Amino acid sequence: MASKIPLKLKDQIERIILKILYEEKSVRTLKLLAEGVLERTMIERITISEKIITTIINHMNKNRKIQFTQKEGWKIRI
Protein backbone atom coordinates (compact mmCIF):
# COMPACT_ATOMS: atom_id res chain seq x y z
CA MET A 1 0.00 0.00 0.00
CA ALA A 2 2.83 2.41 0.81
CA SER A 3 4.02 2.21 -2.80
CA LYS A 4 0.66 3.62 -3.99
CA ILE A 5 1.12 6.79 -1.94
CA PRO A 6 2.55 9.61 -4.08
CA LEU A 7 6.18 10.25 -3.12
CA LYS A 8 5.65 13.98 -2.55
CA LEU A 9 2.73 13.32 -0.20
CA LYS A 10 4.65 10.57 1.62
CA ASP A 11 7.60 12.94 2.14
CA GLN A 12 5.30 15.68 3.46
CA ILE A 13 3.67 13.31 5.95
CA GLU A 14 7.04 11.88 7.06
CA ARG A 15 8.26 15.43 7.71
CA ILE A 16 5.15 16.18 9.78
CA ILE A 17 5.59 12.95 11.78
CA LEU A 18 9.24 13.72 12.51
CA LYS A 19 8.39 17.31 13.44
CA ILE A 20 5.71 16.16 15.91
CA LEU A 21 8.04 13.60 17.49
CA TYR A 22 10.84 16.18 17.69
CA GLU A 23 8.60 18.74 19.40
CA GLU A 24 6.88 16.26 21.72
CA LYS A 25 9.98 14.07 22.35
CA SER A 26 7.68 11.02 22.23
CA VAL A 27 4.01 10.17 21.67
CA ARG A 28 2.47 7.35 23.71
CA THR A 29 0.21 5.69 21.15
CA LEU A 30 -0.17 5.24 17.42
CA LYS A 31 -3.65 6.79 17.60
CA LEU A 32 -2.35 9.96 19.30
CA LEU A 33 0.45 10.27 16.75
CA ALA A 34 -1.96 9.79 13.83
CA GLU A 35 -4.36 12.37 15.32
CA GLY A 36 -1.51 14.84 15.69
CA VAL A 37 -0.56 14.31 12.06
CA LEU A 38 -4.19 14.76 10.99
CA GLU A 39 -4.34 18.09 12.85
CA ARG A 40 -1.17 19.30 11.12
CA THR A 41 -2.40 18.17 7.71
CA MET A 42 -5.61 20.16 8.22
CA ILE A 43 -3.59 23.28 9.05
CA GLU A 44 -1.38 22.74 5.99
CA ARG A 45 -4.43 21.86 3.85
CA ILE A 46 -3.23 18.39 2.93
CA THR A 47 -5.98 15.84 2.30
CA ILE A 48 -5.11 12.40 3.67
CA SER A 49 -6.82 9.62 5.62
CA GLU A 50 -5.86 8.27 9.02
CA LYS A 51 -5.35 4.85 7.42
CA ILE A 52 -2.66 6.20 5.07
CA ILE A 53 -1.00 8.08 7.94
CA THR A 54 -0.88 4.84 9.95
CA THR A 55 0.61 3.04 6.94
CA ILE A 56 3.34 5.68 6.63
CA ILE A 57 4.08 5.53 10.38
CA ASN A 58 4.40 1.74 10.23
CA HIS A 59 6.62 2.00 7.14
CA MET A 60 8.87 4.53 8.94
CA ASN A 61 9.07 2.13 11.90
CA LYS A 62 9.99 -0.74 9.57
CA ASN A 63 12.71 1.43 7.97
CA ARG A 64 13.97 2.36 11.46
CA LYS A 65 13.38 6.12 11.11
CA ILE A 66 11.16 6.03 14.20
CA GLN A 67 10.53 3.39 16.84
CA PHE A 68 7.92 2.38 19.38
CA THR A 69 8.67 1.14 22.88
CA GLN A 70 6.16 0.25 25.59
CA LYS A 71 8.00 2.46 28.06
CA GLU A 72 8.42 5.62 25.98
CA GLY A 73 5.95 5.32 23.09
CA TRP A 74 6.81 6.59 19.59
CA LYS A 75 10.03 8.54 19.17
CA ILE A 76 12.63 9.43 16.57
CA ARG A 77 15.32 6.79 16.21
CA ILE A 78 18.77 8.33 16.09
Domains, the chain, in order of start with CATH, read 2-76 (1.10.10)
pTM here?
A: 0.88
pLDDT tens track for 10-65:
999 999 999 999 998 889 999 999 999 999 999 999 999 999 999 999 999 999 99
Distances (CA, A) of 2 to 24, 25, 26, 27: 25, 26, 24, 22
Q: Residue 1: pLDDT above 60? A: no
Listing DSSP states for 39-51 in one string gives HHHHHTT----HH
State which amino acid sits at residue 1.
M
